[in-house]
Amino acid sequence: MLMRRLSSSSRKSRRLGAALFAAIAAAALAGCGSKNAYVKPPPPKVTVAQPLQQPVTIYLELTGNTAPYRTANLVARVQGFLETIDYQDGASVKTGAQLFGIERAIYQAQLDQAKAQLAKDQSVLAQAQSNLKRYQTLRQQNSIAAQQAEDQAFVVQQNQATVDLDKANVDTANINLGYTKVLAPFDGVVTNHLVDIGTLVGVAGTITPLATIVQTDPIYANFTVSEPQVLAIQHNLAERGKNLRTTGLSDIPVEIGLQNEEGYPHKGHMDYVSPQLDTATGTLAARGLFDNKDHALLPGLFVRIRLPVGHHDDALLTRDDAIGTSQEGSYVLVVGPDNVVERKIVKTGQKQGQLRIIDSGLAASDWVVTEGVQRAFPGAKVAPQQTKLTSDAANQSTSGGTNAPNPAAQ
């Protein structure tokens, strides 16, 4: 009887423990269910800015090479042994400075001989002229035949021709004597000498180069413009009532920069435009002229070239790194009033520092996603943080030449 009661009490205890465990498990499961409920994440933060509006100048960015303003090969124009070298290799010289000296003795002798022959023939002419005057007087007195006076006049003419020939020989001898001094034809820098003292130069039938003189102040920058670019320039000029031929080239500014320079620090102006395109390359040759008093620009350097081809009074600019590309073309992401992202297809223009001109497809009131573009996509909602673009970003120069505009779009 006692055993039956103990067994019944044990079964009741087990049922009570199982019920308690079930209650605890249910409470735990209920608690876990409330923690795993889905909570929608907040919209991503992006930075937005309205396009910057300001007047901008449209530039054509090209490449070219510097070239000397003048260059001349110095050669021996008379034969003789080189006697002197009158400059230091690589020195700057002034116009008329003697650079080389060729033996003068034989040319001085030829000059003296020509002068002596001239003096002799001048005396003969003087005698003939005196005789002519006497014959003419006698003819007037009918003391001699008219033929004698006429014959004497012919003698005077012959003697006069001989004197004129002698004068030409004197001039030639003077010129040859002058060629024994090789002078600088203009201000410039002379290269190293190519022949040494004692060398026979100017041998008949050959040209003996002695050195080269180069003038680098001012200095040229040569470049070429493609046919589409030429047509775009002509279109822009036509809108202002001008053309390439009537526009004063010196009024068109040109800027250049070296590979190790920021921007375009060297200022100059247009100096030459070819009258025709090269049909083989489809390009037009052009040239700019630049002051080079400090001789910082050497002939033959590769340069980046920029020249103005148009102007926008009120252009729209946005961050260049905010512009994407797709099969449809260039685009920007904008945030509407409901903070929903929208994609707008735009037509881009020239880069201005860190900004780029937007020719069409964007309004001044649009808020463009400038940072966090990777977190924004069309149709998504974002949390925009507004900022403002400044003109400093547009004025920052770029040292590379890869941002050249498409002139056909200008």
Rounded to the nearest angstrom, the gap between the alpha carbon of residue 112 and the centroid of all alpha carbons in its chain is 55
pLDDT reading at 261 higher than 50: yes
Burial 375-403 (b: 16+ CB within 10 A, else e): ebeeebebebeeeebeeebbeeebeebee
What is the per-residue pLDDT for 2? 40
Q: Among 71-85, 226-240, 338-352, name the one with the lowest average pLDDT.
A: 226-240
Architecture in CATH for domain 40-69+215-410:
Beta Barrel (2.40)
How far apart (Å, rounded) are the C-alpha atoms in residues 255 and 268? 6
Numbered ranges of CATH 1.10.287 in the chain: 104-179
* pLDDT at 30 (0 to 100): 53
- pLDDT digit string, tens, across residues 60-112: 899 999 999 999 999 999 999 999 999 999 999 999 999 999 999 999 999 99
pLDDT of the residue at 403: 37
Mean pLDDT, the chain, rounded, equals 86
Whether the predicted pLDDT of 6 surpasses 60? no
CATH 2.40.30.170 positions along the chain are 40-69+215-410
Quote the tokens at residue 67.
Answer: 């070239």
Q: Sorting pLDDT into bands at 50, 70 and 90, what band is 31? A: low
What's the confidence (pLDDT) of residue 148? 82
Least confident of 27-36, 322-331, 396-405: 396-405
Domain 104-179 classified CATH 1.10.287? yes
More confident residue, 373 or 235: 373
- Classified as helix, coil or strand, 193 is coil
pLDDT of residue 22: 56
pLDDT in tens, 355-378: 999 999 999 999 999 999 888 889
Average of pLDDT values for 185-214? 94
Least confident of 18-22, 133-137, 301-305: 18-22
- pLDDT-derived band at 407 (thresholds 50, 70, 90) equals very low
At residue 167, the pLDDT reads 96
Q: Which pLDDT score is estimated for 232?
A: 80
**Mean pLDDT over residues 299-310, rounded?**
92
The predicted pLDDT at position 367 comes to 94
Question: Which band of pLDDT confidence, cut at 50, 70 and 90, is reported for residue 53?
Answer: very high
Q: By C-alpha distance, which of 258, 252, 255 is closest to 300?
A: 258
For residue 164, what pLDDT band results from cuts at 50, 70 and 90? Answer: very high
Report d(CA 76, CA 202) in Å as an integer: 5
CA–CA gap between residue 31 and residue 71 (Å, rounded)? 93
- pLDDT score recorded for residue 405: 36
Does residue 26 register a pLDDT over 60? no
Please report how many Cα atoms fall inside a 13 Å half-sphere around the Cα of residue 333, on the Cβ side.
25
